[in-house]
Amino acid sequence: MTVRTTCAYCGVGCGIRATVTGERSVRIEGDLDHPANRGKLCSKGTHLGETVGLEGRLLHPMIGKRRASWDKALDQVARRFRETIERHGPGSVAFYVSGQLLTEDYYVANKLMKGFIGSAHIDTNSRLCMSSAVAGHMRAFGEDVVPASYDDLDVADLIVLIGSNTAWCHPIVYQRIRARCDAGARLVVIDPRRTETAEQADLDLAIRPGSDVALMNGLLAWCREAGALDTDFLDRHVMTPDGFWEQVGEGSDLWSVARACDVPAADLRRFYEWFAATPRTVTMFSQGVNQSLTGTDQVNAIINVHLATGRIGKPGAQPFSITGQPNAMGGREVGGLASTLAAHMDFAEENRALVQRFWASPTMATKPGLKAVDLFRELGHGRIKALWVMATNPAVSMPDAGRVREALAGCPFVVVSDVIADTDTSAFAHVRLPAAAWGEKDGTVTNSDRTVSRQRALFPLPGEAKPDWWIIKEVARRMGWKTAFAYDRPAEIWREHVRLSTYRNDGKRLFSLAGHGAGGNAEYDAMTPFRWGGKPFADGRFPTGDGRAKLVKVTQKAISEPLKDWPLTLNTGRYRDQWHTMTRTGLAPKLARHREEPLVEVHPDDARRLELVDGGLARLATPQGESLYRVQVTDSQRPGELFTPIHWTDRTSSGGRTGLLPRPLTDPVSGQPGFKSTPANIGAV
Ligand code: SF4
């Protein structure tokens, strides 16, 4: 039996043809007909078949250390949430969910929290990944719409990658970029690190971390001076706030920008000249932009340039936010962030009324809820008294993870629904619920370029595992909302999601799934990948009240000087062959060969000064915590900067605990944590 499904890992969203070859074995091939990958797979996707065994799985509901029946476990979850709400109000409970959930799972969780519990304290680990892009899109476009698609890369003449090691983190997209470069397009990489992606670029700008706004404002000023603005597009389709150009011009001469970004002026000039002269330019950005304390401003600085030069909504001319997780976008579409309501709507009064009418819900969240970092802070302060964590591992992945653990330990009631029995987070759970894994569950995911694909089951559910949507709706029904959560299969949830996206949608909201799988179950089962929204903004209309996009005034914030006790700057990120906290990739031995242990990358000058030797051990410390790493001395780091991977946990290693190190500081607009610039120190052990 061969099944068309989608990769479990990243936001590229590659299609897979999976042929079941035994009870729990499968042959994996790329799907030639999937528009995201056209048959190709990277190392992680290729080795998915090695990860479908039942090793380490949670197969039965557990209350404390004891196995329990589903009825007993669900009753307990529903009762404790209901009692907590009755005693302390709807704001005393929270869900922390995941970009690993399928859209249908996300939809039911969001509906339960926002429309029935009546709070918006549901946030997702996607907050850590791309919420600055969401906030930037909403400020500029009025709606969280990604205008670009992968097809744009095939016709671009200049591709600019900002804060993205695409060759490692989105390998199949990178192959597409390379193919376009082989056909003559130029590649510019803007990244403080000289990554594998940067090494292959025509131009590599290793800017000072956090200087992106200066860089892009300088580019905008250059384009204006060079006559490269699209004044007709600006006049007709873009709202320019008072004083915008004066602000852009301030400190944006080539020399000042080169100094602010700490790059050679000649390289900067080359980038600016190439951009100004190349109408078909795609600027793709990722975590290096989003995971900054000024991430939203950086996103808008990029979008400003594209709007002002008319490089948007046209083939090969787009700003392009690329997401990390397989279904971060599906979560955004249903409103799975604390800051959005549903179907790309915010909490405006008319939206609340519309969604409440559609859901026929008894109560509705009236305002945005707690974003991830604030949510765990409030958990620590005792304001959140019951928490349900779904398909994610915040005890490792949140910044200041040590404090998150203390907060989890102090919470009166923690539920964890997960695939894995023992995670760093589930150690704090009062109830653990066994969820279906990739290869067992059915539903939809949306990738970085808005392509919606099906994930399909290959194997029967093992033990007593259940799909996440089923678990959530059973709790909702036990809390008293039987009719609103009477789903028997994911197709019914999908149809409701489609109907909500079109409900009283007079075309002002671009997000619409009209015509996609709204028919019967057979139509859902046969669904082939599709991209919603066609070519957004191709007609120059934006989903703002007046149809015009907005330039956003952004200024470069002062970059703080190194602190006396913490003279270095720590940056964190991914390895090519691992995924998040390695609960799945750790099962594939071949993937460990690329990097067998967590390394701290150090520039040779720093290594000499601090007497660190390549291959030796070092203790890396920040004001938040410390951990042990093996040292890699490399001039791919800028002097004064360190890099460590995010994947290792207490369960997999005695060192490399990167989650303990970053500060719980966030971008003020998006609430996304700034993982990329933590003050640090390091010493040999
Ligand atoms: Fe999977 Fe991403 Fe690799 Fe594609 S690029 S195979 S989606 S991990």
| Ligand 1 atom at minimal distance to the Cα of residue 172 | 5
| Ligand 1 atom at minimal distance to the Cα of residue 43 | 3
Q: How far is CA 491 from CA 336, 423, 472, 527, 547, in A?
A: 19, 31, 16, 11, 34
Out of 32, 41, 168, mutate this one to test ligand 1's pocket (max ligand atoms within 8 Å of CB): namely: 41
Please give the distance, rounded to the nearest whole angstrom, from the Cα atom of residue 469 to the centre of ligand 1.
24
Q: Measure the CA–CA gap between 129 and 585, rounded to whole angstroms.
A: 19
Please give the distance, rounded to the nearest whole angstrom, from the Cα atom of residue 11 to the centre of ligand 1.
7
Please give the distance, rounded to the nearest whole angstrom, from the Cα atom of residue 39 to the centre of ligand 1.
11
Please give the distance, rounded to the nearest whole angstrom, from the Cα atom of residue 440 to the centre of ligand 1.
19
Q: Which SS3 state, helix, strand or coil, does residue 2 take?
A: strand
CA dihedral 606, 612, 617, 618 (to 10 degrees): -50
- Per-residue pLDDT tens over the stretch 211-241: 999 999 999 999 999 999 999 999 999 999 9
Pocket lining for ligand 1, CB < 6 angstroms: 7, 9-10, 12-14, 37, 41-42, 44-45, 170-172
Q: Measure the CA–CA gap between 544 and 346, rounded to whole angstroms.
A: 13
Cβ neighbours of 663 (radius 10 Å): 19
Please give the distance, rounded to the nearest whole angstrom, from the Cα atom of residue 408 to the centre of ligand 1.
32
Please give the distance, rounded to the nearest whole angstrom, from the Cα atom of residue 188 to the centre of ligand 1.
23
> What residues of the chain score a pLDDT lower than 70?
518, 652
Ligand 1 atom 4: residue of nearest CA: 14
Closest to 78 (Cα-Cα) out of 478, 480, 481, 483: 478
What is the ipTM score, two decimals? 1.00
Q: Measure the CA–CA gap between 90 and 479, rounded to whole angstroms.
A: 13
527-551: b (≥16 Cβ within 10 Å) or e = bebebbeebbbeebbbbbeeebbbb
Edge-to-edge strands of the sheet including 318-321?
A: 203-205, 186-190, 158-162, 281-285, 318-321
Q: Hey, what domains does the chain have and what are their CATH numbers?
A: 2-51 (3.30.200.210), 62-126+327-480 (3.40.50.740), 130-324+545-550 (3.40.228.10), 568-684 (2.40.40.20)
User: For every residue of 346-370, which 3-state class applies, written as one string?
Assistant: CCCHHHHHHHHHHHCCCCCCCCCCC
pTM: 0.96
Please give the distance, rounded to the nearest whole angstrom, from the Cα atom of residue 326 to the centre of ligand 1.
9
| Ligand 1 atom at minimal distance to the Cα of residue 170 | 5
Ligand 1 atom 2: residue of nearest CA: 10
Out of 166, 172, 451, mutate this one to test ligand 1's pocket (max ligand atoms within 8 Å of CB): namely: 172
| Ligand 1 atom at minimal distance to the Cα of residue 173 | 5
Q: Measure the CA–CA gap between 423 and 440, rounded to whole angstroms.
A: 20
CB-based contact 184:306 (threshold 8 Å): no
At CA 99, angle to CA 96 and CA 101, rounded to 5?
85
Please give the distance, rounded to the nearest whole angstrom, from the Cα atom of residue 12 to the centre of ligand 1.
6
Please give the distance, rounded to the nearest whole angstrom, from the Cα atom of residue 9 to the centre of ligand 1.
6
- Per-residue pLDDT tens over the stretch 227-281: 999 999 999 999 999 999 999 999 999 999 999 999 999 999 999 999 999 999 9
- Amino acid at position 179, single letter: A
Q: Give the per-residue pLDDT at 31.
A: 98
At 269, which helix (H) or strand (E)? helix 265-277
Q: Measure the CA–CA gap between 524 and 444, rounded to whole angstroms.
A: 10
Out of 7, 51, 174, 177, mutate this one to test ligand 1's pocket (max ligand atoms within 8 Å of CB): namely: 7
| Ligand 1 atom at minimal distance to the Cα of residue 16 | 6
